[in-house]
Amino acid sequence: MVWEKEKIVGSCIVGGAAFAVGASFLHLFLKGELPLGLGLGLSSPWRILRKRKPVRVYMDGCFDMMHYGHCNALRQARALGDQLVVGVVSDEEIIANKGPPVTPLHERMTMVKAVKWVDEVISDAPYAITEEFMKKLFDEYQIDYIIHGDDPCVLPDGSDAYALAKKAGRYKQIKRTEGVSSTDIVGRMLLCVRERTVSDTHSRSSLQRQFSHGHNSPKFDDGGSSGTRVSHFLPTSRRIVQFSNGKGPGPDARIIYIDGAFDLFHAGHVEILRRARELGDFLLVGIHNDQTVSAKRGTHRPIMNLHERSLSVLACRYVDEVIIGAPWEVSRDTITTFDISLVVHGTVAESDDFQKEEDNPYAVPISMGIFEILESPLDITTSTIIRRIVANHEAYQKRNAKKEASEKKYYEQKSFVVGD
């Protein structure tokens, strides 16, 4: 009997302690002070009691001539929260603060929406975070933090565009992706128009100079055939893994294959990839190497090197996998190795001469009855973007001068504060 009484008392003490601990955990959990999963199994009923509010982060930008550096910034921003909301600055705001954009708002929206780390997009975002817009972000969009890179974003008056967010304590910073910038890309573009008449040389040099200020100054040679633009980008396996999905096709997946240069990745590329993905379960993209692109498009192509182009394509939500350095001809071996169900090609491209070539790169899939030409939703090519830059060189010259003046004011004000 004594042992039984002791057992009963002991059970009551243990049970009471367990209840007290459980009640304390519940109290902390409901208050949001207990991290999810702390000492609790995934199937625990405690998780059902209160679902943690997702951390929503906001990042904005012009995203003009969008490149893998922009995509990497969005990837880093997404890693700071559970949901990423992206604001795309309007054409009018860009013109007022920087000068005319190369790509209009609808194309920039297409590009941003296609980035796989983006959950939501706000059109016509303001260039600077105002009190009114910041309140809208916090109240209407339930934003927890505003994100920007460690490079300065300066208004025409020299002030910091994110000063209010920093003051509110709701600002977080990410690292800028070194080795690429819109300035750098424009410098490379100019090499593609160097074969124009001598009378255009001054204009091209002027345009190159106005884009040569910044983190990466493009090298440009007006004479001879030896001028080259060497990319600062240093590819690593880690960066490729960061951009990859890490998943292969299912056992019965319908695999669609599309190949190309995908140089200066633009809205036209995004839309044809979207169309291709709709035809199957898994989209495999073949990206031609630099030598192949140069042979087919000219000495100064591609503008972006193979690994830069691969990252831009990998960042697209419609793409499941890429072949880095895909062969020009789609062979039977390639089709068998990757279990390709259908090979597609868009109607808009730099050249459709492949249909006239003796050695048609799609001869094998055509003979197998697995080739299809898709109607391209947008009439945009890499050459389209280059023509926009060259045609508007005066406007871009003013744009760069405005940017330089703003940054000068910003650093002068910063130096004054430090001096005080």
Q: Decide which of 370 and 96 is more confident.
A: 370
> Is the C-alpha dihedral spanning 295, 372, 318, 285 positive or negative?
negative
The pLDDT assigned to 194 comes to: 55
Tokens describing residue 420: 């005080």
Average pLDDT for the chain: 79
* pLDDT reading at 314 higher than 90: yes
Beta bridge partners of 374: 346
pLDDT of 79 > 80? The answer is yes
Q: Return the structure tokens found at 218.
A: 């493009």
Q: Are strands 371-374 and 282-288 parallel, antiparallel or unpaired?
A: unpaired
Which pair of tokens denotes residue 261? 């240069």
Half-sphere exposure of 357 (CA within 13 A, CB side): 12
The whole-number average pLDDT for the span 349-354 is 74
pLDDT band at 212 (very low <50, low <70, confident <90, very high): very low
Structure tokens at 400: 């760069």
Q: What is the pTM of this model?
A: 0.76
- By CB atoms closer than 10 A (0-12, 13-18, 19+), residue 366 is middle
Token duo for residue 197: 């008449």
Which structure tokens are listed for 278?
A: 């709709």
Q: Cβ of 183: how many Cβ atoms within 10 Å? A: 19
Nearest by Cα to 256 from 379, 365, 114: 365
> Which of 256, 288, 289 has the alpha carbon at shortest distance from 273?
256
Task: Determine contact, residues 321/287, Cβ cutoff 8 Å.
Answer: no
pLDDT digits (tens, 9 = 90+) for 27-67: 444 444 444 444 444 444 444 445 789 999 999 999 998 99
- Find the mean pLDDT for residues 62-91: 96
* Confidence class for position 400, pLDDT limits 50, 70, 90: low
Q: Dig out the tokens for 122 from the structure.
A: 């706000």
Please give the average per-residue pLDDT across 90-112, as a whole number.
92
